[in-house]
Structure 1
Amino acid sequence: MNDLFSNKQTGYLVVSALIAVLLGAIYYFLVYPMSEEKNSKEVTISTVRSEIALLDSQLTAPVEEGEDKNSFQLEKKVPLTRELDMLIKSIEEVDLVSEAKIESIEFNNYDEIVADSTLVSSEEEASPETNDATTEETEGEQPAETPVSPVANSTLPPQLKLITFNINILTKDYDHLNIFIKELESIERIKRIDQIELLIPGEESLLDVEFKDVISARIQVTTFFYDE
């Protein structure tokens, strides 16, 4: 009887041991690898996220720098203010390169929105008394025409404003006139040469220059600025 009980107890111990071994094997071969794989994937995901964050930070900086650079370049082409001083300085540089002589620069419409730009007549600009006085002073001379651009009636963004002006110049000859025009076109600021009119130089102009074949011209130019 004792032997039977002892055998049963031994059998239970053996079965328990087998079950423990089986559970250990299941954990070692199934659960443990899955746990390690999970931990490895979590580490990988964390690493990838860190790399993505680093790449984002690296990409963002050049983009912002590029946007600032592009914005700066655009403002050089279409400034946010009139920048008349810079415009006149650029024209003076053209004058030096082409060896021309600028007699005058006449501005108009630099306060007007493109869509609303109109030519103001002399009657609207001055009173009759002023006109009479001007007529007496000039003794019949025709007043200078106020420049107005053909693009004044174009449909353009309402924030875009124009500056139209005439440049009256004297050059040595046609070659130097062409140099002046090409240098004027090379100014980085966006501009449009509306027209070029050849004139007969006056006697006073001829006395002021040292060259014989004088070319007198009036060049009408329109440039723009963006008013936010």
Structure 2
Amino acid sequence: MTAAAEWVKLWTVRSTWWCVAASVTLMGCTAFLLANDFVYDIEHPDQQSVRDTAATTQSIVDPAAASVSLAQFAVIALAMLVITSEYSTGAIRSTLRAVPVRGRVLLAKAAVAAAATFGAGLVLAVAGLFAARLGLREYAVVDLGDAGAVAVRIAVYLALVAVFSVGMGAALRSAVGTLSAVLVLLVGLSMVVPEPASEYMPGVAGGMFVADGDASGALILVAWTGAVLAAGYAVIRRRDA
């Protein structure tokens, strides 16, 4: 019942649809541009900017997987608004009065965000793969098995990122603070933490999972997500709305 109510709230606000539309647009445009850059390097070998190998073809999954790092920003915005919007408007008081068990509220919000972004992730993956195919033209390598696998991994990754964002939103209660913290953890730390420690950062681990199906990367991201969600629960349980 709680999850059903959260599902209705999620899809009855325009911001959800804007975030989904933005994520699909970012995914498709980025995948096309990456694919087009690869083709440009092949056709203009004296001006190479993207390729670091002598390969003359590319799988469509490569630009699609790389595009997730940009498209995820819109997904993060969608997920964090599941909870931060209620704190900003005061609606969280009504939510907690209706469902006094705060852990149930948080889990419902996390589950709804995960389900919505998993479905959106599949749409994003299809958009990215299709755009990559268009951008690569005759240089594309199409393997439906690989394409299906990366589509599922993209959807799983974005679902975990959504739960991560919900947990951070519960802990910080601020849209700006949540967005900043999530971006620092997913992107910022990946740039400043040296190897091999960077492989344990959520952004790097998630990227390894999406690109290569690295199970250890998925487990690291799950661990980070669980920790952030637990922190969010600790805050929402102890502090007044």
With the length of structure 2 as denominator, give the TM-score of the two structures. 0.22
Structure richer in helix, relative to its length:
2
Structure richer in strand, relative to its length:
1
With the length of structure 1 as denominator, give the TM-score of the two structures. 0.22
